[in-house]
Amino acid sequence: MMKKKSNRTHLLGRLELDTDFGPLLEDTRVRLMQEIDRHGSISQAAKHVPMSYKAAWDAVDAMNNLAEYPLFDRATGGKHGGGTRLTDYGRRLVELHQVLSDEYLRNLDQLAERMRDPENVDFRELQRMIRRMAIKTSARNQFVGLVSGLREGEIDFEVRMRIDDENELCAVITHESADLLKLRIGSEVHAFVKSSSILLLTDRAGRTSARNHLWGTVNRIHNGPVNSQVTLELSGGRTVSAVITRDSVDSLGICEGNAACAIFKASSVILATFD
């Protein structure tokens, strides 16, 4: 009788000790230190890790340069030949890394136990937050919200997403993109807008053809030689940034603390889902 495979979730991680000038200890370097102390030879230790002889020497030099005290005792020549061993400080550092690593893995096991609980809403929220923070994009503005409206047209698809209690975004995408994203009312969606695609307005009576208008308060202006980056804080606490010319900042009278509106076309919004 065949045994059923286990679907238990396991988390794996690595612990790294950093200094102000770069990483000091990570798994491979700790293994190298242990092998050096065991064999008394960098070349023998490199074979057992395994890593190249040059990489081992580079790691030894880097660790010694970054550590507060010497990690290695090196002997050259002599009756019993040369060799390298860990100093007492080096051994204590390896032991510290092992204790921290064991504790780290124990916490990961506890986290994995929480993952197995389908009722653990807090953990699901943590998962979503980690996923959002892991996204890397060249677009300065990123919003996360729920799909609040879908309207299919003959040529394209209009998607509305609510980012807070007062603000919605509108995006226009192709039918193919809508099918690929599998959008539905209430589903989570990410929106990206380049800061160069955003215009600013200060006159509340002004009219534009752009579908998206986000009013907020100017909380930061970063001036460059030609352009300025202006960041608005929205009512819900989110921010939106625009890059406009310094002349535009002056002509619109934009300054910190004043109200302004970020304007951008629905076609300037890029959507993504991660389900």
3-state secondary structure the chain: CCCCCCCCCCCCCCCCEEECCEEEECHHHHHHHHHHHHHCCHHHHHHHCCCCHHHHHHHHHHHHHHCCCCCEEEECCCCCCCEEEECHHHHHHHHHHHHHHHHHHHHHHHHHHHHCCCCCHHHHHHHHHHHHHCCCCCCCEEEEEEEEEEEECCCEEEEEEECCCCCEEEEEEEHHHHHHHCCCCCCEEEEEECHHHCEEECCCCCCCCCCEEEEEEEEEEEECCCEEEEEEEECCCCEEEEEEEHHHHHHHCCCCCCEEEEEECHHHCEEECCC
Domain boundaries, the chain: 17-115, 140-192, 194-264
Distance CA 149, CA 26 (A): 48
The correct answer on CATH 3.40.50.1260 for the domain covering 194-264 is no
- Assign a CATH topology to domain 140-192: OB fold (Dihydrolipoamide Acetyltransferase, E2P) (2.40.50)
Q: Do domains 17-115 and 140-192 have the same CATH topology?
A: no
Beta bridge mates, 262: 200, 214
Q: For residue 73, what pLDDT is reported?
A: 83
Q: What is the pLDDT along the chain (275 residues), one digit of tens a residue?
A: 444 444 455 566 666 666 665 567 788 898 999 999 999 999 999 999 999 988 898 888 878 777 778 888 876 554 444 588 899 999 998 888 888 887 777 777 776 676 666 665 565 666 665 555 555 556 778 888 899 999 988 888 999 999 888 899 999 999 888 888 888 999 888 889 999 999 999 998 888 889 999 999 998 899 989 999 999 988 877 889 999 999 999 999 999 999 999 999 999 999 988 76
pLDDT score, position 216: 93
Q: Look at residue 80 in the predicted model and tell me its pLDDT.
A: 44
The pLDDT of residue 21 is 54
Q: Which residues pair with 19 in a beta bridge?
A: 22
How would you class 25 by CB atoms within 10 Å of its CB: exposed for 0-12, middle for 13-18, buried for 19 or more? buried
> Does pTM surpass 0.75?
no
The confidence score (pLDDT) of residue 250 equals 92
What pLDDT is attached to residue 121? 55
| Torsion angle of C-alpha atoms 168, 171, 259, 163, degrees rounded to 10 | 30
CATH architecture of 17-115: Orthogonal Bundle (1.10)
